[in-house]
Amino acid sequence: MTELTTKYLRDEKARGTSCPGCGLRPAHLKVLEAIDRLGISQADIVWGTGIGCSGRQTYATWKGDTFAGTHGRVYAMATGLRLALPPNKKIILTVGDGDAYTIGLQHLLNCARRNVGVTVVVLDNLGYQSTGGQYSITTPEGSVTDSSPRGTWEQNWAGSGLDILNVIKEAGATFIARHTVLQGDAVVSSLEKAIQNPGFSLVQIVYPCVSHFGVQALGTRNIPQVYTWFESYPLATGILQDSIGSRPEFSDAFRQQNKKVKKGNQDV
């Protein structure tokens, strides 16, 4: 327990539930650190989550208002929620790579297109780990997982020329960054920028799952060994897009549009 967790997390959830060596907990703490550095009060943040390791384990940890959506749909929910909340309230979503990039991609892209004021934090553990370790579109190519016993053979969206973040960029996201959980201060700094963006931000934080990916793909549960491999795993990291302020935020633009409409029931 640290000062950060005591300050921001619910007592019964403050300890975290991730497996030994998992990067989920340090990544989660980095979001809290960014909030703390920005000095945003608990009352001004609504925290939503998806499904999977990252969704389930971060749900209802935030002391303030919190919700969990169905798998992959939390971006659509946040779009509706954004219309109901005043502009000073921030929406932060912690989700997984499967939630954001596969099952929820349709809604994620439309959320980016609309420039909905929301910060999506993708806690990328390199596959579907809460179901025991199956490959996702961020699993390193060739990896053995429970659903790729001979190694993955399809091209992924994270390494060899195809990058999901380019798709999200083209969809209109106004801030995009990718980091590994090991990149310390750079991660917090990107998260600060993301949370301050009035529009749509996405920060992907990559870390290896030791319990499943480590055992299945790397053949070890040894935490230092897994992280030694991870340090050499090639990933394009840093801020990939920063066009904050270039497009109007969705709910703000919506209200401006509505102001142009003549009020009162004209006819039916």
Partner 1 sequence: MRRIFDTGNAAICEGAIFAGCRVFAGYPITPATEIAENMARRLPEEDGFYLQAEDEIAALHICNGASLGGLKAMTATSGPGYILFADAFGWALSSEIPVVIINSQRVGPVSGITGAPGQGEFYLSRYLAHGGNYETIVLAPASVQEAFLLTVRAFYLSERFRTPVTILADQMVTDGWETLELPESEEEAQNMDLQRWERKVHPGPDFYPPTDAIDIPPVVLGHNTGGACSDWTPTLQGHDTEDFELHHKHAWRLIHKILSHRELIDDAEEWEVEDAEIILVAYGTPSRVVKSAVQEGRAKGLRIGGIRLISLWPFQDRLFKRKASYLVVELNWDGQLVKEVQRAARGSAVHFWGRCGELPSVKELLATAEQIKEGKTLSRDAWKTERW
The residues of the shown chain that bind partner 1, judged by CB under 8 A, are 10, 12-13, 42-43, 46, 49, 56, 59-60, 63-70, 73, 76-86, 89, 106-107, 110, 254, 257-258, 261-266, 268
The length of the chain is 268
Asked if 98 and 128 count as a contact pair (C-beta separation under 8 A), the reply is: yes
Q: Residue 171's closest CA among 120, 124, 234, 207?
A: 120
What is the C-alpha separation between 120 and 123, in angstroms, rounded?
9
Which is nearer to partner 1, 6 or 42 (by Cβ)? 42
| Alpha carbon distance 43, 88 (integer Å) | 10
The smaller minimum CB distance to partner 1, of residues 78 and 158, is found at 78
Quote the least distance from Cβ 242 to partner 1, whole Å. Answer: 26
Taking the complex as a whole, how short is the minimal distance between the CB of residue 61 and partner 1, in angstroms? 10
Minimum distance of partner 1 from residue 196's CB (angstroms): 19
Identity of the residue, 66 or 237, whose beta carbon is nearer to partner 1 in the bound complex: 66
CB of 210 to partner 1, least distance (A): 23
Q: Which is nearer to partner 1, 41 or 232 (CB)?
A: 41
Give the residue from 142, 213, 203, 208 showing the smallest Cα distance to 174.
203
| CB nearer partner 1, residue 4 or residue 60 | 60
5 and 31 in contact (C-beta within 8 Å)? no
How many other C-beta atoms can be found within 10 angstroms of the C-beta atom of residue 102? 18
Helix (H, G, I), strand (E, B) or coil at 141: coil
Kindly state the smallest distance separating residue 227's Cβ from partner 1, in Å.
Answer: 30
Least CB distance from residue 5 to partner 1, whole Å?
16
Secondary structure letter of residue 125 according to DSSP: -
Angle CA 71–75–81, to nearest 5: 120
Kindly tell me which of 70 and 155 has the beta carbon lying closer to partner 1. Answer: 70
Tokens 């596969």 sit at which residue? 102
